[in-house]
């Protein structure tokens, strides 16, 4: 799955970045996923949105904008970032935990909003009485991979709880609002039966609001980072959704447009973190052998946070040979025992050595599946390490710097020295 770059190509990438670590995004893989998303079956029209929090770098946003995607934004800052990257506000949908103070200004410029709580709905209605709005519901079930990625059900604060339709109606009446869109995002994974259930729960909500013309099912389409994981087949999970939409149209005469908002599915496997092995230490005969990188939680937090499993490939420098296979624990460069890149799959604190060819210090270490929630969701500047550079490996097999490495001056620029 990871691109098979040669030691020379890696050398070239690191030279362009100035130094390791850096992120490498494979444009061809990204475009392949774009094509798959466009194939999602939708009998009455599909509007794909990119959940930009997965990887909001401008060059990535540009590729998705050209491919006809809109944006799912999670904050007012993301809205502004997408606009600066060339998206018109009308192509952006905001579903946020923290309603931006200036939301009304953006709505006047075309932003679409999903009210994600009763209070958000009230504020929207006060600002725009007599208009229409989207609603994000928590349909009462979720299916994220871990408690931290589960975004539906009673232990999730996202969206309006599905039993609160009467309270919603009261607010709609108070502000003369109509509902144009129903949105849920529960991290539904790769099982078509779960998607069928999600579609039915959503259509139940749509039935309660006669003006709704768009159903938004959010994101959460899983990818396979390692051989043990199952990737989502969008055609397979889309089928029961499309069937439910057709049935709804037959029964009610309402032909709903479908929106989906993938993040991980688009960029997850397109990104690789390139690091160098800095040191190798061990803790004796009954201990472990540790491989220390020049990267870690400052670039990728997912292993420490979710016990996420990322493929690791060690590549000797040009002219070097791969070493003997040994169980190795891979750790990051932060002074923090949680900075662990090979946790056990069910416990972010447990060390799970991997059988890897023992490298020499200076060899390359590639961490795959690092395109989504990696550069965008790291322990930035911890231990005062600067943010890593990002490179695009273009479809004509060239490296392009799309974000240069942060400097120490930039890190300190906001400090007030009196
Ligand atoms: C994060 C998010 C997504 C994307 O989730 P993925 O798991 O990356 O596909 C889509 N919609 C909303 C509302 C989100 O918050």
The series of mean pLDDT values per 10 residues for the chain, 418 residues long, is 89 97 98 97 98 98 98 98 98 97 97 98 98 94 62 85 96 98 85 86 94 96 89 91 96 97 97 98 97 98 96 92 95 95 94 96 97 97 98 98 98 94
Query: Hunting for tokens 């990871």 — which residue is that?
Result: 2
Inter-CA distances, 57 with 376, 389, 398, Å: 8, 11, 18
CA of 270 to the centre of ligand 1 (A): 17
Catalytic-residue membership of 335: yes
Whole-number CA gyration radius for the chain: 23
Residue 51 phi, psi (nearest 5): -75, 95
Q: Determine the Cα–Cα distance for residues 402 and 247; give it in Å rounded to an integer.
A: 46
Q: Tell me the pTM.
A: 0.96
Ligand 1 in contact with 72 (CB < 6 A)?
A: yes
- Does ligand 1 have an atom closer than 6 angstroms to the CB of 95? yes
CA dist 215 and 181 (Å) reads 6
> Quick one: tokens of 35?
């094509």
For 257, which DSSP code?
E
With a 6 A CB cut-off, is 189 part of the ligand 1 pocket? no
Q: Tell me the CA end-to-end span of the chain in Å, nearest whole number.
A: 52
**Cβ contacts of residue 81 below 8 Å, gap of 6+?**
52, 56, 61
Probe target for ligand 1 pocket from 52, 78, 134, 218, with the most ligand atoms within 8 Å of CB: 218
Partners of 314 in the β-ladder: 365
Q: Is the CB of 54 under 6 A from ligand 1?
A: yes
Helix or strand run (H / E) with residue 22: strand 22-26
Work out the burial of residue 224: count CB atoms within 10 Å of its CB; fewer than 13 is exposed, 13-18 middle, 19 or more buried: middle
Q: With contact defined as beta carbons under 8 Å apart, do 131 and 177 qualify?
A: yes
- Distance in Å, CA 264 to ligand 1 centroid: 8
Centroid of ligand 1 to alpha carbon of 217 (angstroms): 10
Mapping DSSP to helix (H, G, I), strand (E, B) and coil, where does residue 151 land? Answer: coil
Q: Name the pairing type of β-strands 364-367 and 399-403.
A: unpaired
pLDDT value, residue 196: 86
Domains of the chain: 7-21+271-370+388-406 (2.40.37.10), 27-267 (3.20.20.10)
Residue nearest to atom 3 of ligand 1 (CA): 219
Beta bridge partners of residue 137, listed in sequence order? 160
Please tell me the distance from the alpha carbon of residue 92 to that of residue 416, in angstroms, as a whole number.
35
Distance from residue 386's CA to the centre of ligand 1 (Å): 27
The residue whose CB lies within 8 Å of the most ligand 1 atoms, and thus the one to mutate among 30, 40, 53, 184, is 53
The response to whether residue 183 sits with its C-beta less than 6 Å from ligand 1 reads no
Angle between helices 58-66 and 76-84 (to 10 degrees): 70
List for the chain the helix, strand, coil content (%; round to 5).
Answer: 30, 25, 45
pLDDT at 197: 86
Decide: 231 and 331 in contact? Cβ < 8 Å.
Answer: no
Residues 6+ apart with CB under 8 A from 44: 245, 249, 255, 256, 257, 258
Q: Do residues 369 and 269 make contact, with C-beta atoms less than 8 angstroms apart?
A: yes
């Amino acid at each position: 799955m990871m691109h098979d770059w040669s030691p020379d190509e890696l050398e070239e990438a690191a030279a362009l970045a100035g130094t390791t670590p850096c992120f490498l995004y494979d444009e061809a893989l990204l475009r392949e996923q774009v094509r798959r998303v466009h194939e999602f079956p939708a009998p009455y029209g599909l509007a794909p949105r990119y959940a930009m929090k997965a990887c909001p770098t401008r060059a990535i946003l540009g590729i998705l904008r050209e491919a006809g995607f809109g944006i799912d934004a999670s904050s007012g800052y993301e809205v502004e970032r997408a606009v600066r990257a060339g998206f018109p506000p009308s192509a952006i949908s905001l579903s946020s935990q923290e309603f931006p103070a200036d939301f009304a200004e953006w709505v006047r410029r075309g932003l679409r909003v999903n009210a994600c709580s009763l209070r958000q709905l009230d504020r929207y209605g006060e600002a725009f009485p007599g208009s229409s709005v989207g609603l994000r519901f928590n349909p009462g079930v979720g299916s994220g991979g871990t408690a931290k990625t589960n975004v539906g059900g009673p232990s999730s604060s996202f969206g309006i709880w599905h039993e609160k339709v009467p309270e919603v109606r009261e607010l709609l009446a108070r502000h003369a609002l109509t509902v144009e869109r129903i949105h849920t995002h529960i991290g539904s994974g790769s099982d078509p039966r779960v998607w069928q259930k999600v579609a039915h729960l959503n259509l139940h909500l749509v039935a309660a609001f006669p003006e709704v013309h768009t159903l938004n099912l959010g994101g959460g389409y899983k990818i396979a980072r390692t051989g043990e994981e199952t990737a989502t087949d969008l055609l397979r999970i889309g089928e029961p959704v499309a069937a439910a939409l057709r049935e709804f149209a037959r029964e009610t005469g309402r032909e709903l447009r479908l929106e989906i908002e993938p993040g991980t599915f688009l960029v997850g496997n397109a990104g690789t973190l390139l690091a160098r092995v800095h040191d190798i230490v061990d803790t004796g005969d009954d201990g472990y052998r540790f491989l220390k990188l020049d990267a870690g939680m400052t670039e990728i937090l997912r292993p420490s946070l979710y016990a996420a499993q990322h493929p690791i490939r060690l590549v000797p420098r040009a002219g070097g040979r791969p070493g003997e296979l040994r169980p190795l624990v891979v750790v990051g460069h932060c002074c923090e025992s949680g900075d662990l890149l090979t946790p056990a799959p069910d416990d972010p604190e447990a060390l799970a050595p991997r059988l890897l060819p023992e490298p020499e210090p200076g060899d390359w270490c590639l961490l795959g599946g690092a395109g989504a929630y990696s550069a965008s969701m790291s322990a930035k500047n911890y231990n005062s390490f600067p943010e890593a550079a990002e490179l695009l490996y273009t479809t004509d097999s060239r490296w392009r710097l799309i974000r240069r490495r942060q400097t120490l001056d930039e890190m300190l620029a906001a400090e007030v020295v009196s």
